[in-house]
Amino acid sequence: MTATRVLVLNSGSSSVKYQLLDMSDSSRLAVGLVERIGEETSRLKHTPLATGESRETNGPIADHEAALKAVAEELAKDGLGLDSPELAAIGHRVVHGGKTFTEPTVVDDAVLAEIERLIPVAPLHNPANLTGIRTAQALRPDLPQVAVFDTAFHTTMPEAAARYAIDVKTADEHRIRRYGFHGTSHAYVSRATAELLGKAPEEVNVIVLHLGNGASASAVERGRCVDTSMGLTPLEGLVMGTRSGDMDPAVIFHLMRVGGMSTDEIDTLLNKKSGLIGLCGDNDMREIRRRIDEGAEDAAQARLAFDIYIHRLKKYIGAYYAVLGRVDAVAFTAGVGENAAPVREAAIAGLEALGLAVDGELNAVRSGEPRLISPEGARVAVAVVPTDEELEIADQTYALVRNGNA
Ligand SMILES: Nc1ncnc2c1ncn2[C@@H]1O[C@H](COP(=O)(O)OP(=O)(O)O)[C@@H](O)[C@H]1O
Ligand SMILES: CC(=O)OP(=O)(O)O
Ligand SMILES: [Mg+2]
- Write the pLDDT tens digit of every residue in 293-329: 999 899 999 999 999 999 999 999 999 999 999 999 9
121 pLDDT higher than 90: no
373-380 average pLDDT score: 96
Compute how many other C-beta atoms are within 10 angstroms of the C-beta atom of residue 197.
17
Query: Does the annotation flag 284 for ligand binding?
Result: yes
Q: What is the Å distance from ligand 1's center to 21 Cα? A: 23
245-261 average pLDDT score: 98
pLDDT value of position 123: 85
Closest ligand by atom to 212 CA: 1
Kindly report, residue by residue over 169-214, the tens digit of the pLDDT.
999 999 999 999 999 999 999 999 999 999 999 999 999 999 998 9
pLDDT value of position 73: 95
Q: Is 213 in the pocket of ligand 2 (CB under 6 A)?
A: yes
Strand partners, 123: none
CA–CA dist 389, 387 (Å, integer): 6
CA–CA dist 188, 4 (Å, integer): 21
Closest CA to 92 of 108, 80, 106: 106
Residues 6 or more apart whose Cβ sits within 8 Å of residue 14: 35, 36, 37, 38, 39
> Hey, what's the torsion of the CAs at 49, 51, 52, 57, to 10 degrees?
-100
Q: Is 214 in the pocket of ligand 2 (CB under 6 A)?
A: yes
Query: Does the annotation flag 295 for ligand binding?
Result: no
Q: What is the DSSP string of 312-351?
A: HHHHHHHHHHHHHSS-SEEEEEHHHHHH-HHHHHHHHTT-
pLDDT value of position 406: 56
Shortest-distance atom of ligand 2 to CA 12: 7
Closest CA to 195 of 393, 373, 372, 399: 372
pLDDT value of position 1: 64
- Mean pLDDT for all residues in the chain: 96
Shortest-distance atom of ligand 1 to CA 241: 25
CA–CA dist 146, 393 (Å, integer): 9
> Hey, what's the torsion of the CAs at 82, 110, 188, 37, to 10 degrees?
50
- CA distances, 279 to each of 267, 300, 371 (Å): 17, 11, 32
Q: Is 183 in the pocket of ligand 2 (CB under 6 A)?
A: no
pLDDT value of position 403: 73
Kindly report, residue by residue over 12-42, the tens digit of the pLDDT.
878 899 999 999 999 999 999 999 898 899 9
Kindly report, residue by residue over 73-112, the tens digit of the pLDDT.
999 999 999 999 999 999 999 999 999 999 999 999 999 9
Query: Does the annotation flag 281 for ligand binding?
Result: no
CA–CA dist 17, 45 (Å, integer): 10
Closest CA to 185 of 213, 156, 216: 216
- CA distances, 199 to each of 204, 220, 372 (Å): 7, 14, 14
Give this prediction's pTM: 0.95
Asked whether the beta carbons of 43 and 36 are under 8 A apart, the reply is: yes
Q: What is the Å distance from ligand 3's center to 33 Cα? A: 12
Query: Ligand 2, atom 5: nearest CA belongs to which residue?
Result: 214
> Which H or E element spans position 388?
none
Kindly report, residue by residue over 336-365, the tens digit of the pLDDT.
999 999 999 999 999 999 999 999 999 999
- CA dihedral over 289, 313, 100, 177, signed as positive or negative: negative
Question: Any idea which residues carry the catalytic annotation?
Answer: 150
Q: Is 17 helix (H, G, I), strand (E, B) or coil?
A: strand
Q: What is the Å distance from ligand 1's center to 212 Cα? A: 5
Query: Does the annotation flag 403 for ligand binding?
Result: no
Compute how many other C-beta atoms are within 10 angstroms of the C-beta atom of residue 237.
25
210-229 average pLDDT score: 97
Query: Does the annotation flag 139 for ligand binding?
Result: no
Q: What is the Å distance from ligand 1's center to 260 Cα? A: 35
Query: pLDDT grade, residue 124 (50/70/90)?
Result: confident
Pocket of ligand 1 (CB under 6 A): 212-214, 241, 283-286, 334-336, 339-340
Closest ligand by atom to 216 CA: 2
Closest ligand by atom to 12 CA: 2
370 pLDDT higher than 60: yes
Q: What is the Å distance from ligand 3's center to 182 Cα? A: 7
Shortest-distance atom of ligand 1 to CA 12: 23
